[in-house]
Amino acid sequence: MTEVLLGIDIGTSGCKALVLDLDGTPIASATATYPLARPRPGWTEQDPALWVEGARKAVAEALAASGRTQIRCIGLSGQMHGLVALDEGHRVLRPALLWNDQRNGAECAEITERAGGLEALLAATNNRMLIGYTGGKIVWMRENEPELFARMTCMLNPKDYLRLVLSGEVATEVSDASGTGLFDTRRRQWARELTERIGLDPALLPPCHESSVISARVSASAARLFGLPEGTPIAGGGGDSVIQTIGSGVIAPGELQTTIGTAGILAAALDKPVDNPDGRLQIFCNVAPEKWHCMGVSLNAGGAMSWLRETLWPDDEPAFEAIVEEAAASPTGARGLLFLPYLYGERCPHPDPSARAAFVGLTARHGRPDMARSVMEGVAYAFADMHRLMAPLGMDSGLIKASGGGARAPLWRQMQADLFGCDVVTTQGAAEGAAYGAALVAGVGIGVWPDAQTAAACCRPLTRERPDAATGERMRAMLSVYRSLYPALIASFDALAALDTQA
């Protein structure tokens, strides 16, 4: 019987379960999908029951495919910033508000004001209260759903709700807590004074541990529901955007990671919590103790490709690879066509829920291949925009480790290599996403590896794209135009957003 680790990731569109041997090699994985609700423009919600059912299906399928195994530990990951509101009996009060929900702009401004302004907020947390963060959602619920809010006794993020179902334990860990906007990331503890200043009871916030701490064990009821051995230890895990860095082997300063999932993330590890001058970046606690995590997050990456497929291929909706093949038929620069990927507003480098997506430069000679390529290039330009903020803080590199579903496209990796002028590699396990990082953290939790740095060494390079100087020059010329567009269109975005709410 093979001893294994189990990583479970509660994603936006589905749950992934991954079985990993104790050498860090994936044995089997499975994904169960579920829908996303958009009840109003800018709102995104999910019923947490979908995550539980998705996890049950994915775990059963992955374990069935892995043969005779003994699960040593379970690691959890999930979409960050979501609000799961629970009552005294730990029952869900309403559908969860997700990371890309844009409804709480006024509440985020209120939190910043009550904190004493942006400078005081950054002093407390080292992060802005960005739209989408959990803290703004809690205040939105207080202001807009007072009867439900009065019944709320605890909030959890998505992966921590799964921990509750698996074990009956209410807990979180430092990386997901960082993404609430209510966490002192420098001191790795809840910012209680800030929480009280904005009128929230600190008791709403769950106990918080370091990510590799064994924070729960599988209960008897969950053992029956999930087909897992009762008493199996559960590590704290991590928010998907953070834990994916260890899943790509990014743990030492000087390396960058790009993740193309629904969102697009540019991230780096830090040995200290550097100051975040204007709060446009996100500086969180790393899943490794005494390390921190810097990232920029664009709300639109793989989600833009999904939108493109649904819009331009409404009848057959081809596979991702087929769209990439069409994009490859268009030259670098997509014949002068640019795509601003702000389909859900934007977070970094422009924290603006009113931002709108746009094709700029569209002419009658452009076709689907050009539009597909411009969408892919637009995501790469968003990475470059974020890196312009990170570089002055010392986060530069001659190497990018690509991850997420988009990393399986060599064309997307090559775009990054050309634009950044450095090699882009994929690593073992990175294609498995946050579930791989979750399994590694579980291994650290029970001593399979002595620390996160040793676990990260499992992430051996698999592919490598090298930069082409001429192509990079062309892309950087397009990037210059791309960067001029958002400032020129801010007023138009705001006007269109206002008209949209009147419709």
pLDDT value of position 503: 55
The Cα 150–Cα 217 span in angstroms is: 30
DSSP 19-55: EEETTS-EEEEEEEE---B-SSTT--EE-HHHHHHHH
Q: How far is CA 316 from CA 36, 120, 389, in A?
A: 21, 52, 40
Per-residue model confidence (pLDDT) at position 42: 86
Q: Are 391 and 385 in contact (CB under 8 A)?
A: no
What fold does the segment set 310-381+468-499 form as a domain?
A: Nucleotidyltransferase; domain 5 (3.30.420)
Distance of CA 386 to the CA centre of its chain: 15
Query: Annotated catalytic residue: which of 176, 240, 418, 423?
Result: 240
Strands 208-209 and 172-173: parallel
Q: What pTM did the predictor assign? A: 0.87
Q: Which residue blocks in 262-409 are alpha helix, DSSP H?
A: 302-312, 320-328, 368-390
Domains 1-235 and 244-298+384-463 share a fold: yes
**Tokens 């969180």 map to which residue?**
284
Domain residue spans of the chain:
1-235, 244-298+384-463, 310-381+468-499
Q: What is the CATH number of domain 1-235?
A: 3.30.420.40
Length of the chain in terms of residues written: 503
pLDDT score for 430: 83
What is the residue whose two structure tokens read 């001593």?
447
The answer on whether 475 is annotated among ligand-binding residues is no
Whether 316 is catalytic is: no
Give the CA-trace dihedral at 303, 308, 311, 316, to 10 degrees: -100
Q: Is 293 annotated as a binding residue?
A: no
The architecture (CATH level 2) of 244-298+384-463 comes to 2-Layer Sandwich (3.30)
Report the distance separating Cα 31 and Cα 13, nearest Å. 10
For the chain, count helices (H), then strands (E): 17, 24
CB-count burial class (<10 Å; 0-12, 13-18, 19+) for 64: exposed
How many other CB atoms are there within 10 angstroms of residue 36's CB atom? 13
Largest CA distance in the chain: 63
pLDDT value at residue 396: 77
Over the range 196-227, which residues count as b (16 or more CB within 10 Å of their CB) and which as e? ebbebeeebbbebbbbbbebbbbbeebbebbe
pLDDT averaged per 10 residues, the chain (length 503): 96 95 95 95 95 98 95 97 97 96 94 97 96 96 98 98 98 98 98 96 97 98 96 97 91 87 90 89 95 93 93 85 96 98 91 93 97 98 95 83 91 97 92 91 97 93 96 98 97 91 65
